[in-house]
């Protein structure tokens, strides 16, 4: 098996509850990322790999074969996609980031994958971006919202994976009215979606919750490149990655004259 250094724990269904990973994820992940236990168990069965740092360092990485990723990346079938990388801001943070990236690389090499991929935004986490460069990641593609696809080729030659560019079309295909699109089953995501849709219904708007339940659906239909939830109004993307009910509702009222 791929080696795991002593300062890293492999998280799996048998040790999930006693590992402390669920509380670690909730504390470190962005609001759109944090999901429920059942969702995580289901994703682990699909091939998701989770590694966490041993104390005193606090951090984790989630990566998955491209065939099972929810990220909208095309041509990633022979790749491993890093879906989340979070390390607490403390002494030794760069060491933790580097260790977690190397674990993902070792796993990918062991199972014969060609590329490691991660999606980042301009300005996100300078320390992580610096460590990615040190480990020979390069920018492969860019798309809407300053989102970049970084990758490290492990073996080749290969056709490089790319990011979709059809975001206007994806949003338009969701149709008229107010649509909240989401994946996963995190309580916070569902509560936020229902609050916004309830406001829309009370104002007489056509509303719909477009829940994506499979990774292949997400890769093809997600209307925002790096969000677990987004908001579309009459085919136009109005909220993505950490959207606020209050801010989005103000924008809806402005556009609809409510």
Q: Looking at the domain assignment, is residue 68 inside a domain? A: yes
Which residue among 130, 153, 176 closes a domain? 153
Whether residue 125 is found in the same domain as residue 205: no
pLDDT band for 106, please (50, 70, 90 cuts).
very high
Mean pLDDT along residues 111-123? 94
pLDDT of residue 169: 97
Range of the domain at 225: 167-256
pLDDT digits (tens, 9 = 90+) for 54-69: 988 899 999 999 999 9
Average pLDDT, the chain: 91
pLDDT band for 44, please (50, 70, 90 cuts).
very high
Whether residue 128 is found in the same domain as residue 172: no
CATH number at residue 137: 3.40.630.30
Whether residue 128 is found in the same domain as residue 26: yes
Q: How far apart are CA 194 and CA 190, in angstroms?
A: 6
pLDDT digits (tens, 9 = 90+) for 150-176: 999 999 888 999 999 999 999 999 999
pLDDT band for 239, please (50, 70, 90 cuts).
very high
Whether residue 148 is found in the same domain as residue 237: no
Whether residue 91 is found in the same domain as residue 123: yes
CATH number at residue 204: 3.40.30.120
pLDDT band for 189, please (50, 70, 90 cuts).
confident
Q: How far apart are CA 94 and CA 88, in angstroms?
A: 10
Q: How many domains does the chain have?
A: 2
Q: Looking at the domain assignment, is residue 159 inside a domain? A: no
């Amino acid at each position: 098996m791929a080696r795991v250094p002593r300062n890293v724990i492999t998280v799996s269904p048998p040790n999930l509850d006693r590992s402390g990973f669920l509380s670690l994820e909730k504390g470190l992940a962005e609001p759109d990322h944090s999901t429920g236990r059942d969702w995580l168990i289901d994703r682990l069965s699909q091939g998701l790999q989770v590694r966490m740092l041993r104390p005193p360092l606090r951090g984790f990485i989630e990566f998955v074969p491209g065939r099972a990723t929810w990220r909208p990346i095309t041509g990633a079938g022979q790749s491993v996609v890093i879906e989340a990388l979070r390390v607490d801001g403390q002494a030794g943070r760069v060491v933790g980031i580097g260790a977690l990236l190397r674990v993902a690389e070792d796993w990918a090499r062991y199972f014969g994958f060609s590329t490691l991929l991660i999606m980042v935004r301009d300005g996100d986490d300078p320390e992580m971006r610096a460590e990615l460069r040190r480990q020979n990641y390069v920018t492969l593609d860019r798309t809407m919202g300053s989102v970049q696809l970084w990758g490290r080729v492990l073996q080749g030659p290969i056709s490089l994976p790319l990011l979709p560019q059809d975001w206007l079309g994806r949003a338009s295909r969701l149709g008229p009215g107010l649509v909240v699109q989401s994946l996963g089953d995190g309580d916070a995501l569902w509560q936020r979606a229902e609050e916004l849709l309830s406001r829309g219904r009370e104002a007489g708007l056509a509303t719909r919750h477009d829940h994506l339940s499979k990774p292949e659906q997400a890769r093809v239909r997600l209307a925002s490149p790096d969000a677990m939830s987004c908001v579309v109004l009459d085919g136009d993307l109005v909220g993505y990655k950490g959207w606020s009910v209050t801010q989005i509702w103000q924008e809806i009222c402005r556009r609809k004259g409510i």
